Amino acid sequence: MDEKTVSADNGVINGNTQTISKNFIEEIIEADLNSGKVKKTVTRFPPEPNGYLHIGHAKSLCINFGVKNKYKGKCNLRFDDTNPVKEDEEYVESIKEDIKWLGFKWDKLLFASDYFTKMYSCAITLIKKGLAYVCDLTAEEIKNTRGTLIQPGVNSPYRNRSVEENLLLFSQMKEGKFEDGKKVLRAKIDMASPNLNMRDPVIYRIVHATHHNTGDKWCIYPMYDFAHPIEDAIEGITHSLCTLEFEDHRPLYDWVVNNCGLPHKPQQIEFARLNISNTVMSKRFLKRLVDEKKVLGWDDPRMPTLCGIRRRGYPADAVKDFCTRVGVAKANSEVEMNYLEACVRDNLNMTADRVMAVIDPVKVIITNYKGSEVLSIENNPNAKKITTRKVSFSDEVYIDRSDFEINPPPKYFRLKPDGYVRLKGAYIIKCDSYETDQNGQVTLIKCSYVADSKSGSDVSGLKVKGVIQWVDAKKHTKFTLRRFDSLLLNNADENADFTARLNPESMKEVSAIGEKALSKAKIGDRFQFIRVGYFVVDKDSAKNKLVFNEIVGLKDSFNVKS
């Protein structure tokens, strides 16, 4: 294996024991700490507040805060708010909330826009050194004179303006003398550089727009490639961890750090983005889904946003576990969505209480049972401390229609005419007869119960293979279940307009009934509905109106241990 690569299967996935060897970023950091080059690590998570965070950002968060936690360093949350047009306070707040949800604590909360004055003075430094010039070419002209990978670019006719003229024009840009796009400030590097990013990149542009933080104070804004290294240097970031697409920008990053007279030199290291199969994570795309009302909002349970995932019921620990299992690699790859689901299932298997619910009820009358009783049923066999709950039982229960077959196939262990089955946590029952309507649909099943077969004290001697869930017909709770499929069609044409890629059946609502105790469930409570799946109480719930989201099914073909 390439020594820089730590592959997805590097984590040994086995219940609670995870042995993860060092990833290539940690190798670099440890070398820097051991050599004394770095005393204390300082990392940062630098989102642009132009949308909500998604699962891809969770990977970046886990890496940056992972370094903080592992090496007892610091990690800042810095909003990279250098583009006033797309940014908004709403996004700032949502990003903070999502990071807190994941359990990460930032050291400093910072805004790139707080450094605009410093960035401006860095630009002046470059102009004075003859390393930046005001250019009047249009964006189109700049693009057309940039050259290609095999052809050098063409020098701008404005490249040799004097320092004085550049200083004057740049200050006039700042004062608002020019319209958007009329002038830019460009770094004077090398129009023949084999790296296109080094061909006199634009470092400041004119944008007459109100900024969410600085209001109308500025009408010139620094470009990302200029702003980012300055932000990192000001904050004393030791390791500036970013995604692979910035690898080609690193020479420019270093150029800015070296030429702006900054006291500190951060080191940029790139890692592979997280890509998930059949999942579009770009904020632009997700925003369209929200704006065009194709989903319930940014936090729709089908969205790959962190707030969507949270509402879907995925535990924060499962998301972090997923990021750990995926690992940190230097090569881009794609991970299957069911890999994340497997992490969620593993987590919920240990943490979620079990309850009984029935989606398609058919009534069972237990003819020889009199009255009612309250049973004590175990909540979670995997819990550290076993607890129980009270479940009412009577002579009338509902079972799921799919658990009764008039003409069962061989090895059918659920209820069938003259057959036995155990009602989970209660008694063994035997089907004596059943009734159907004119369509042949079963409407009622009549059973007798085996009195000495009560779960926990069964002395009946009967060996019954099937165990099914049930709900007391006299005391239960009604609710709605939302079941989900992927938001995008799996086989859709990637180039088709996004509406053609949307799965029209990605959300279905069904009504269901469950144990009475569920009526007390609160928003965010998670359960395993025995033999059905994992569910969470949705925020659309109200008094006497319970709505559950399906978090994940009970089983999947994907085997994380393989």
Minimum CB–partner distance for residue 343 and Mg ion (Å)? 26
Asked about 48 being catalytic, the answer comes back as yes
Nearer to ligand ATP, 245 or 452 (CB): 245
Judged by beta carbon distances under 5 to 8 A according to partner kind, the member of Mg ion, ligand ATP, none in contact with residue 243 is ligand ATP
Choose between 227 and 536: whose C-beta lies nearer to ligand ATP: 227
The one segment of 44-52, 213-221, 231-239, 498-506 that binds ligand ATP by CB under 6 A: 44-52
Cβ(399)–Cβ(429) below 8 Å: no
Counting runs of H as helices and runs of E as strands, what totals does the chain give?
A: 13, 27
User: Hey, which residues does 528 pair with through a beta bridge?
Assistant: 354, 534
d(CA 19, CA 464): 41
Binding mask 197-236 for ligand ATP (x = CB under 6 A): ----------------------------------------
Q: Which of 57, 212, 249, 330 binds ligand ATP (CB under 6 A)?
A: 57
Tell which one of 92, 122, 135, 281 touches ligand ATP (CB under 6 A): 281
Residues 55, 274: contact at Cβ < 8 Å? Answer: yes
Give the one residue of 6, 92, 242, 530 binding ligand ATP; rule: CB under 6 A: 242
Count of other CB atoms within 10 angstroms of residue 498: 14
**How far apart are the C-alpha atoms of 209 and 281, rounded to whole Å?**
27
**Non-local CB neighbours of 302 within 8 Å, separated by 6+ positions:** 295, 308, 312, 484, 486, 487, 506, 507
Q: Is residue 283 at the binding interface for ligand ATP, with CB under 6 A as the rule? A: yes
Among 6, 13, 47, 235, binds ligand ATP (CB under 6 A): 47
Which of Mg ion, ligand ATP, none does residue 46 bind to, with CB < 5 to 8 Å depending on kind?
A: ligand ATP
Q: Is 48 among the residues that bind ligand ATP (CB under 6 A)?
A: yes
One residue of 10, 13, 43, 56 binding ligand ATP per CB under 6 A: 56
Nearer to ligand ATP, 47 or 361 (CB): 47
- The residue (of 48 and 336) whose beta carbon lies closer to Mg ion is 48
Q: What are phi and psi of 21, to 5 degrees?
A: -75, 170
Decide if 184 contacts 204 (C-beta within 8 A).
yes
State the minimum distance, in angstroms, from the CB of residue 226 to Mg ion: 15
Helix axis angle, 24-35 to 55-70, nearest 10°:
30
H or E element: which one contains 250? helix 250-259
- Strand pairing partners for 373? 393
- Among 23, 41, 42, 46, indicate the residue that binds ligand ATP (CB under 6 A): 46
Single out the segment in contact with ligand ATP by CB under 6 A; choices: 45-53, 199-207, 289-297, 451-459.
45-53
110's tokens:
């910072």
Distance CA 422, CA 428 (A): 4
Catalytic residue among 74, 183, 199, 283: 283
Interface region with Mg ion, contact rule CB under 5 A, candidates 40-48, 413-421, 537-545, 547-555 = 40-48
Is 312 a binding residue for ligand ATP by CB under 6 A? The answer is no
Annotated catalytic residue, options 118, 273, 288, 424: 273
Comparing CB distances to ligand ATP, the nearer of 99 and 415 is 99
Q: Are 307 and 57 in contact (CB under 8 A)?
A: no
Which tokens is 136 given? 């009047």
Minimum distance from residue 209 beta carbon to ligand ATP (Å): 19
What is the torsion angle, in degrees rounded to the nearest 10, for the CA atoms of residue 535, residue 540, residue 546 and residue 549? -20
Candidate list 18, 282, 332, 382; residue touching ligand ATP; CB under 6 A: 282
Neighbours of 216 (CB within 10 A): 11
- The token duo for 197 is 């990013």
Confirm if 380 and 556 have CB atoms less than 8 A apart: no
Task: Choose from ligand ATP, Mg ion, none: what does 242 bind? Cβ within 5-8 Å by kind.
Answer: ligand ATP
Tokens of 177: 């003398």
Q: Which two tokens stand for residue 517?
A: 């105790």
Q: How far is CA 555 from CA 145, 320, 343, in A?
A: 57, 21, 12
Tell me: does residue 260 bind ligand ATP (CB under 6 A). no
Does the active-site annotation cover 235? no
Size of the site for ligand ATP (CB under 6 A): 14
Handedness of CA 261, 262, 266, 271 (dihedral sign): negative
* Calpha distance 325→15 (Å, rounded): 12
273 labelled catalytic: yes
In the range 58-77, which residues lie near ligand ATP by CB under 6 A?
59-60
Position closest to ligand ATP via CB: 56
Contact by Cβ (8 Å): 526, 351:
yes
CB of 48 to Mg ion, least distance (A): 5
249 lies in the binding site for ligand ATP (CB under 6 A): no
52 vs 548, which CB is nearer to ligand ATP? 52
Neighbouring C-alpha atoms within 13 Å toward the C-beta of 149: 1
Piece in contact with ligand ATP (CB under 6 A), picked from 3-11, 103-111, 154-162, 273-281: 273-281
Which residues are registered as beta bridge partners of 337? none
Select which of 30, 48, 97, 247 is catalytic: 48
Residues in contact with Mg ion by CB under 5 A are: 48
Active site residues: 48, 273, 283
Residues in contact with ligand ATP by CB under 6 A are: 46-48, 56-57, 59-60, 242-243, 273-274, 281-283
